[in-house]
Amino acid sequence: MRFTLLILFWSIVGSAIGQTDSLANIKSTHLDSTGIKKICTKLQIPNNLEANNDLLHFIVDWIGTPYCYGGETKKCTDCSGFTTNLYLTIYKKYIPRSSREIFNNCLPISKHALYEGDLVFFATSGGSTISHVGVYLWDDFFVHSSTSQGVIISNLKQGYYRKTYVSGGAWLD
């Protein structure tokens, strides 16, 4: 279904979908099912044998990085700094540096159609203005840089994120 929607989107705007998947270019340290299970357990997320190995390693490397507004390094990072680093490292895609700009350039995706690597957007300052971004994992879990805890994994069903969630988005380029 998702693939069909993406094809329809590109045909409407007159673009062609390339024959190669940008994810195929990623060099990966392939984990066996035991390795994936260990990392998922360490991250306290459900086991997913189809998970992107590089994404899991990236998260392990960044988890606990402190939050600082405007930061984009492992010394400290904000939500969009973390997300832009993740997208460049894992998906080889340059995305804007602010959560609002990222949101404005995404194909909207409903919550029930989110897929690993999609973006999730929140209005944490009230209203509907986008002020926070994270990267969806699976089973309602997402990774992001929280102002209070730094880079963490949270769940969309948690009260705060359930209340402030605005939309999902797919970055297409």
Between CA 32 and CA 33, with CA 19 as vertex, the angle to 5 degrees is 5
Q: 30 catalytic, yes or no?
A: no
| Residue of 40, 76, 79, 106 with catalytic role | 79
> Which DSSP helix (H) or strand (E) runs through 40?
helix 33-43
| Residue of 40, 76, 106, 132 with catalytic role | 132
Q: Which residue has the tokens 């309602």?
A: 140
Q: How far apart are CA 172 and CA 129, in angstroms?
A: 22
Q: 112 catalytic, yes or no?
A: no
| Residue of 40, 76, 106, 144 with catalytic role | 144
CB 132 within 8 A of CB 164: yes
Cross-strand bridge partners of residue 135 = 119, 143
List residues with catalytic annotation.
79, 132, 144
